[in-house]
C-alpha cells in the first residue's frame, strides 16, 4: 500500500509525485497516459522560466523528474472506481485492468479534455491552425484572422481576449443567441475587429494540406453553405473534466462535474485531494496544474502526519 497515490500523470500528478516523494513517503502514480494533455501540445511558451518547449519534450521531462525519486509509476492504467476507506482507513482505486491499489491518501489529477466539433479537418489541422486554448496559442496568430467557435462564456471571453492580439475575430454560434453573460456580450459588441455570426453550424475546417486556410459553415435558417477565409480556428465548446469514474463515489463534484477542493486541495472526503484541470480551480494551465499538484501533495503529507 502507498502513503500517497496520484491518479493521473499530467503536470498536476507529476508535480504531486515529486513533492510527495521528497517527503520520503511511499509514493505512486497511476495514469492512463503519463504526460496527459501535454502530449497533444505542439509548442509551449508560457511555462515560466522555459521560454519555449514542445509537448512531448515536456512530458519526457516530467517523467524524468519523477524518476529521480523512488516513485512507482504505473502507466496505461485507467481508474474506473474509487472506494474511500472507512473511518480513516486506506482508500482503494480500481482499474480497468482488474488491478486495484490502496493508499492512505490520494491525489486525483485526471485532468480534462476539450470538447471537439468532430468535423472534417479539425483533427487534421490540430496545432496547424486549429487551437483550443487562447492563453496558450493566441500570440501565434498575431495580426491574423481567426474564428472562435462557441458563444458561451468561454467562447466570448476567448473572442475578447483574441481581439486584442489578432487582426480579425469571427465568433460563430450555433444557436440564434449567444449564451455568454450580458457584460461579456456588451464588451464583445464594443470591439471594432469582432464579427458575430449566429445560427451557424460549422461543417468543415479547410486547409492547404499543411495549414488552416478557412472554414465552411451552414447558415441554419437558409441551409446555405458559406466559407470564411482565415488562418486560425479556436474551438470553445466546452472543457470536460475526466470525472466519469467518480460518479458513484462520495467525492463532491460541481455542476460541471469538476472536483470541489478547498484551499489545500482537499476534496469533500478527508485524505483525498485533487489538483489540476479536473478541479474547480479556474484557468486550466500547465503552470497552474503544477502549482496545484504540489499544493495537494503537501496537503496530503500534512494530513498523514496528523492522522
Would you tell me which residues interact with ligand FAD (CB under 6 A)?
A: 7-13, 31-34, 36-38, 40-41, 44, 46, 78-79, 109-112, 114, 132-133, 136, 242, 245, 276-278, 284-287, 289
Annotated binding-site residue? 147:
yes
Q: Is 152 part of any known ligand binding site? A: yes
For residue 106, list its beta bridge partners: 5, 272
Minimum distance from CB of 37 to ligand FAD (Å)?
Answer: 4
| Residue 136 annotated to the active site | yes
Q: Are strands 272-274 and 130-131 parallel, antiparallel or unpaired?
A: unpaired
- Of residues 52, 233, 204, the one with CA closest to residue 144: 233
The CB-of-93 to ligand FAD minimum distance in angstroms stands at 8
b/e string for 255-271 if b means 16 or more Cβ within 10 A? eeebbebeeebbbbbeb
The residue whose grid cell reads 435558417 is 221
149 in a labelled binding site? yes
CA distances from 283 to 69, 81, 279 (A): 29, 27, 10
Of 70, 72, 137, 176, the catalytic one is: 137
Alpha helices per DSSP H over the chain? 11-21, 55-67, 134-137, 153-163, 182-189, 286-306
Q: How far is the CB of 219 from ligand FAD (least distance, A)?
A: 29
Closest CB to ligand FAD among 24 and 139?
Answer: 139
Question: How far is C-alpha 281 from the chain's CA centre?
Answer: 11
Determine whether 133 is an active site residue: yes
From 72, 133, 181, 262, the catalytic residue: 133
Tell me the closest approach of the beta carbon of residue 257 to ligand FAD, in angstroms. Answer: 13
159 labeled part of a ligand binding site = yes
State how far the Cα of 9 lies from the Cα of 252, in Å rounded to an integer: 22
Pairing of strands 27-31, 71-75: parallel
228 is in an annotated binding site: no
Detail the residues annotated as belonging to a binding site for NAD(+): 145-159
Detail the residues annotated as belonging to a binding site: 3-18, 145-159, 267-277
Catalytic residues, by residue number, are 133, 136-137
Detail the residues annotated as belonging to a binding site for FAD: 3-18, 267-277
Amino acid at each position: 500500500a502507498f502513503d500517497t497515490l496520484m491518479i493521473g500523470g499530467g503536470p498536476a500528478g507529476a508535480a504531486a509525485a515529486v513533492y510527495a516523494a521528497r517527503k520520503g513517503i511511499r509514493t505512486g502514480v497511476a495514469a492512463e497516459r503519463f504526460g496527459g494533455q501535454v502530449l497533444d501540445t505542439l509548442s509551449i511558451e508560457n511555462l515560466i522560466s522555459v521560454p519555449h518547449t514542445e509537448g512531448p519534450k515536456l512530458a519526457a521531462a516530467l517523467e524524468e523528474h519523477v524518476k529521480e525519486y523512488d516513485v512507482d509509476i504505473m502507466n496505461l492504467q485507467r481508474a474506473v472506481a474509487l472506494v474511500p476507506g472507512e473511518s480513516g482507513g486506506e482508500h482503494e482505486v480500481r482499474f480497468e485492468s482488474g488491478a486495484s491499489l490502496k493508499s492512505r491518501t490520494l491525489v486525483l489529477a485526471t485532468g480534462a479534455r476539450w470538447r471537439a466539433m468532430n468535423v472534417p479537418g479539425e483533427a487534421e489541422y490540430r496545432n496547424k491552425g486549429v487551437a483550443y486554448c487562447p492563453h496558450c496559442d493566441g500570440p501565434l496568430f498575431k495580426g491574423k484572422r481567426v474564428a472562435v467557435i462557441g458563444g458561451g462564456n468561454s467562447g466570448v471571453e476567448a473572442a475578447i481576449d483574441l481581439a486584442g492580439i489578432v487582426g480579425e475575430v469571427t465568433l460563430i454560434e450555433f444557436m440564434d443567441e449567444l449564451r455568454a453573460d450580458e457584460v461579456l456580450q456588451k464588451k464583445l459588441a464594443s470591439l471594432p475587429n469582432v464579427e458575430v455570426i449566429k445560427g451557424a453550424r460549422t461543417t468543415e475546417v479547410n486547409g492547404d494540406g499543411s495549414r488552416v486556410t478557412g472554414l465552411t459553415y451552414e447558415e441554419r435558417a437558409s441551409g446555405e453553405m458559406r466559407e470564411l477565409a482565415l488562418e486560425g480556428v479556436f474551438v470553445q465548446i466546452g472543457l470536460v473534466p475526466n470525472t466519469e469514474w467518480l460518479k458513484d463515489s462520495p467525492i463532491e463534484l460541481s455542476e460541471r462535474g469538476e472536483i470541489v477542493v478547498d484551499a489545500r486541495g482537499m476534496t469533500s472526503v478527508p485524505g483525498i485531494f485533487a489538483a489540476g484541470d479536473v478541479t474547480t480551480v479556474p484557468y486550466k494551465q500547465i503552470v497552474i496544474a503544477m502549482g496545484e499538484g504540489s499544493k495537494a501533495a503537501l496537503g496530503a503529507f500534512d494530513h498523514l502526519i496528523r492522522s
